[in-house]
Structure formats: structure tokens, C-alpha cells
Amino acid sequence: MSGKWSSASLPVKKRKLDGSSSSSGSASDIKQGGEAAMEDPPPTEIADTLNSLSASLENKPRNQDDNDNDDDDNEDDDDEKFLVYWKSLTQDDVLYRRLAIPLEDAIEFMPEPSKYKGRYKLAELKLMDHKKRMWNMKASFDELSNSYLFSENWDKYLNEYELEPEDVIFLYEVAPDDEHLHIEFHKRKLHNINPRKFLLYKKSLTRDDVFYRRLMIPLEDAVEFLPEPSKYKGRYGFLELKLMDHEKQMWNMRASFYEECSSYLVWENWDKYLNKYKLEPEDVILFYEDPINTNFLIEFRKRKLPERKNNPKDATD
């Protein structure tokens, strides 16, 4: 494999990682662009991103042993690694359990998409992780996004290493004759996240919200953070809502618009959210804008029960 290797947002030139570079797969030594641009420093935004992935991360590189006492005669193959692709995982990569790699990047290490009887054939990619475990992943080509979507075993890899949005994966070539690539990851730095939240909606739950297992949001409030209702073939469609709660659990809910009450009714998985946190009428829910991702944050406050008055008979002495 040869030529230019890149990620969708941060292109990199395929480059050998010599013995002085981090064995973690750090991209800190990889410059942007072609040969003519190799002498120029990368843009500030890219430089900040690359520096955040360097060996100074608080998490130890995922392929580095606890000791570095290997003899010179038994050097690790890391000296011959070539970075071929890297990506900061998106919400969709994690929540929908499939890794999307644009064709313009994947074509360097994947075959050209081809059809059989009018359908695109599945493509296979073999990956070895930092524990020498093999992952046989299969991908389908999606014309709409012009990307390969890796699904088979990608979910198991996510679960094995508890990867989250904004964690970064790296794909390497070690030996040209290998039939597999190597995969590594770095966990994101959480201290860079802006903790501020912006309140979008607040409601004291009604009996109907709880007992009929659907949350009613009046249109006059909903339009502040949800799209205007629209019809398709004379009917209102479903609205998808992604909500992250205070325990970092994702809730994929659906809402429908009802003209009779001029409100959105959130129903799918709302009952499960109620049950998990044992919400009752007069408990308060709060929707916040997520400053990092495209979903919303949801929290609740339990209602304040009236204070119990002391019974004089309970007093002693």
C-alpha cells in the first residue's frame, strides 16, 4: 500500500514512525499535506488536536508494555509502523454501533465497492489490536454517505474497550505482506470539555405524563429547541430525540405531533425512563443543550414532600 493516507477531517501523509516516535500510535509527528507542505507547521486547530494525542496523555498508550527493557536485537515491529488512518469517533460511530469511513479515505486500504446482482458486496477488514487479538470486521458500502460502514464485530470492539464519542482510533500498517492492519485507540481528555449547560425546557410532570406514559410538550415551548412539525403525504412524521441522562445513559425517544392539543407527545422509551428513576407527578424534568454533542441532556428533580410536623406525643421528657 502506498500514497497519501488521510482521515475525513484531518488528512495525514503516510509516514514511517521511527524508533524515536511514540509506540502508542501518536500522530504528533505526522504533518499535513503533500511533499510541498512538509516544511510548514500544521494549522493551529490541527496542531492542538495532534498534541492532545501525544504520548503525554494521562492514559498509557494502548500497545506499550509496562517495561521497555527489550534488547536492541529484539526490537518491536512498532519501529516499522505506518499510520494509514485515524479518526475521532462520532456519536453515530458509537451509538449506532457502526464505524463510518469515507470512501476517499477507505479506498487506500479497502477494495473499490462492487456490485453483485444489483447489490454492493460486503468487504472484509482484518484488524489486530494492542493485545494481539484479531477482529474480523465486515463493511457495506453506503451510496448515500459515500462511505464504508463497518458493523460486524465493531460493536464488540467498542464494548471490549468501552470506547465513547471523541475517543480516537488509529489504523496502522506494520508489514506490507500482512493481510491485516493494526488498530489502537486513545481515550479523550475529559478536562477539556466545557461543563456549562443551557436550560432549554423545564416541566413539572402531570398525572397524564406519568400514567399515560407519554410526555406532552406544548408546541410554543417545543419550537425553542425542536423543529416545526411537518407533514409527509398528509401525515405528521416521527421526530427522533437523543437524550443523555445524568448517568451518561443514552435514551433514543420518539415524538409525534398532535394538532388536537398542539403539542409534541414523547412516547418511545419515555416509559422506561420513568420506571428507571421512579418519577411521579410533580417531579420536575429539565432538558439542556449539550455543549459537546448534538443530542440533549435530561435531568430530573424529585418533588419536595411536605415536611412532617412533630407530634407532641412523640416528645419525651
Q: What is the mean pLDDT of residues 25-43?
A: 37
Q: Is the pLDDT of residue 213 over 90?
A: yes
pTM of this prediction exceeds 0.75: no
Q: Given the C-alpha cell 475525513, which residue does it identify? A: 8
Cβ-Cβ contacts under 8 Å for 263 (sequence gap 6 or more)? 216, 217, 218, 219, 222, 257
Q: What is the pLDDT of residue 289?
A: 84
**How does pLDDT run across 61-107, given as a tens digit for each residue?**
444 333 444 444 444 444 467 888 888 898 889 888 889 999 888 88
Q: Is the pLDDT of residue 160 over 70?
A: yes
Q: How confident is the model at residue 117 (pLDDT cuts 50, 70, 90)?
A: confident
Q: Rounded to whole angstroms, what are the CA distances from 74 to 16, 70, 78, 302?
A: 19, 6, 11, 62
> What is the DSSP annotation of 64-79?
--S-----GGG--GGG
Q: Do 205 and 281 meet the contact criterion of CB atoms below 8 Å apart? A: yes
Q: What is the mean pLDDT of residues 301-311?
A: 69
Q: How confident is the model at residue 293 (pLDDT cuts 50, 70, 90)?
A: low
- Find residue 101's DSSP bridge partners: 148
Q: What is the pLDDT of residue 119?
A: 85
Q: What is the pLDDT of residue 69?
A: 43
Q: How confident is the model at residue 136 (pLDDT cuts 50, 70, 90)?
A: very high
**How does pLDDT run across 178-191, given as a tens digit for each residue?**
788 899 998 875 44
Q: How far apart are CA 228 and CA 192, in angstroms?
A: 34
Q: How confident is the model at residue 305 (pLDDT cuts 50, 70, 90)?
A: low
